[in-house]
Amino acid sequence: MVVDRIFSGIQPTGTPHLGNYLGAIQNWVNLQEKCSSVLYSIMDMHSLTMPKEPAVLRQNILDTTAAILACGIDPKKCFLFRQSQVPEHAELAWILGCLTNVPRLLRLPQWKMKRASQNSEGTVGLLTYPVLQAADILLYKSTRVPVGEDQVLHLELAQDIAQHFNKKYGEFFPVPKAILSTTKKIKSLRDPSVKMSKSDPQKLATVNIADSPDEVVLKFRKAVTDFTSEVTYDPITRPGVSNLVSIHAAVTGLSIKEVLHQATGLNTAHYKMVVAESVIQKFTPIRNEIKKLQEDKSHLVKVLEDGAEKAKEVAAPIYQEIRRLVGFQ
C-alpha cells in the first residue's frame, strides 16, 4: 500500500530570507495541516557542497531550526530532523549513484552555476548532490515533494532514478510528484533579474525574516525600480516594481490585482514604504519568537533528535528492503 507522504528539506544557511519563507516555509506550514505523514529535513549534508567553518555550520543548523519553528512548523504534526542524523540517506545515495549516468549530472544547471560561483573545477559532492536529493526523497517512499522552479529538474532526476530502480529490481518506489509553489519567485532587491539569495554579496539585496524594522525599511527604500512613478505589474518591462508587488501580495495574502488597487495614486517611493510596513507586520511576531527559541539551545537540539528518531523508524524498514533487493542481504 502506498502511503501519501510529503518530504522536503532546507539547507541550514542560518535565518531564512523572505524568498525562503514565501516560496517554501509558508507552504510547509500549510501542508503539515493537510497530510498525515510529513517529513521536513535540515539538509546539513548538502550544505557541505559550499565550504563552511564547522562552528558556523553548527550555529546555522540551530538558527534555521529556530526560524522554522517560529514560522509555524509543529513537530507534533511533522517530523523535523537533521539529514546527517539518519545515515541511511548517505547509504542509499551510494546505491542510487551507481544507477545514475555522469553526463546527466553534468547537464544540470546548478552544477554549472555553483561551480562558476566557487571559481573552481567543482567537487564530487557538488556534482552528485542531486543523487543525494533523490535518496532523501526516496528513502521514505515519498509521494509528493514541494519544490520551487529551480528544483524541478532535480525532482525529475529523482523520478527517473526511481523508475530505473523499479525496472531493475521490481516495483518498489512510488514515483514522487511535484507540489509547485504558487508564490511568484522573489527577486533580489538590488538586481531583480536574479532571485533573492543569502549568498548575494550586496547586503541590501536580501531581506532576512529576522531583520529589524529599520533594516527592512532601509532595504526597501534602496530597492531598485525604474524612472516611472506609477505602480504597475509587468515583470518583463518593470521587474523591480513587479517584484515589490509580488512581495506585497505574498505577505498580505492578497492578489496582484488587489494590491495594485491599493497602490492606486501612490508613487514608487511611497509604495516601497507600504511594502516595507507589510513585511514588518508579517514578520515581527516571527522575529520575536526566533529570538526566544534561540535562547534555548537544548530545546532545539532535542526537537531535531526526536525528529531523527521518528524518521529512522520510517526509513529503517524501507532501507532494509532495499538492501535485500540489491543483494546486500
The answer to whether residue 198 is catalytic is: yes
Tell whether 146 and 24 lie within a shared domain.
Answer: yes
Q: Residue 80: pLDDT band by 50, 70, 90 thresholds?
A: very high
Q: What does the pLDDT read at residue 184?
A: 78
Instruction: Indicate which residue of 114, 187, 219, 272 is catalytic.
Output: 114
Per the model's pLDDT, the better-predicted residue between 199 and 65 turns out to be 65
Q: If DSSP states are collapsed to H, E and C, what string results for the chain? A: CCCCCEEEEECCCCCCEHHHHHHHHHHHHHHHHHCCCEEEEECCCHHHHCCCCHHHHHHHHHHHHHHHHHCCCCCCCCEEEEHHHCCHHHHHHHHHHCCCCHHHHHCCHHHHHHHHHCCCCCCHHHHHHHHHHHHHHHCCCCCEEEECHHHHHHHHHHHHHHHHHHHHHCCCCCCCEEEECCCCCCECCCCCCCECCCCCCCHHHCCECCCCHHHHHHHHHCCCCCCCCECCCCCCCCHHHHHHHHHHHHHHCCCHHHHHHHCCCCEHHHHHHHHHHHHHHHHHHHHHHHHHHHCCHHHHHHHHHHHHHHHHHHHHHHHHHHHHHHCCC
Q: What is the mean pLDDT of residues 156-181?
A: 96
Q: Mind listing the pLDDT tens digit for each residue in 266-288?
A: 999 999 999 999 999 999 999 99
Domain count, the chain: 2
Note whether residue 193 is domain-resident. Answer: no
Please report, for the domain that includes residue 130, its CATH number. 3.40.50.620
How much of the chain, in percent, has pLDDT values that exceed 90?
85
Q: What does the pLDDT read at residue 316?
A: 98
Q: Which three cell numbers stand for residue 8?
A: 522536503
Tell whether 218 and 154 lie within a shared domain.
Answer: no
Q: Mind listing the pLDDT tens digit for each residue in 305-317?
A: 999 999 999 999 9
Query: What is the domain extent for residue 75?
Result: 6-185+298-326
261 has a pLDDT exceeding 80: yes
Q: What is the mean pLDDT of residues 196-202?
A: 89
Instruction: Indicate which residue of 52, 77, 185, 198 is catalytic.
Output: 198
Q: Mind listing the pLDDT tens digit for each residue in 1-41?
A: 678 999 999 999 999 999 999 989 999 999 999 999 999 99
Q: What does the pLDDT read at residue 119?
A: 62
Q: What does the pLDDT read at residue 112?
A: 75
Closest CA to 134 of 124, 145, 123: 145
Look up the pTM and report it: 0.92
How much of the chain, in percent, has pLDDT values that exceed 70?
98
255 has a pLDDT exceeding 70: yes
Q: Residue 120: pLDDT band by 50, 70, 90 thresholds?
A: low
Tell whether 117 and 253 lie within a shared domain.
Answer: no
Tell whether 140 and 247 lie within a shared domain.
Answer: no
Instruction: Indicate which residue of 141, 184, 187, 195 is catalytic.
Output: 195
Note whether residue 200 is domain-resident. Answer: no
Q: Which three cell numbers stand for residue 213?
A: 524594522
What dihedral do alpha carbons 31, 35, 39, 42 form, nearest 10°? 10
Report the chain's mean pLDDT, rounded to a whole number: 94
Q: What does the pLDDT read at residue 198?
A: 86
Beta strand 79-82 with 38-42 is parallel
Tell whether 36 and 178 lie within a shared domain.
Answer: yes
Tell whether 280 and 303 lie within a shared domain.
Answer: no
Tell whether 317 and 217 lie within a shared domain.
Answer: no
Note whether residue 194 is domain-resident. Answer: no
Tell whether 29 and 137 lie within a shared domain.
Answer: yes
Q: Mind listing the pLDDT tens digit for each residue in 39-55?
A: 999 999 999 988 889 99
Tell whether 239 and 91 lie within a shared domain.
Answer: no
The answer to whether residue 114 is catalytic is: yes
Tell whether 105 and 129 lie within a shared domain.
Answer: yes
Note whether residue 199 is domain-resident. Answer: no
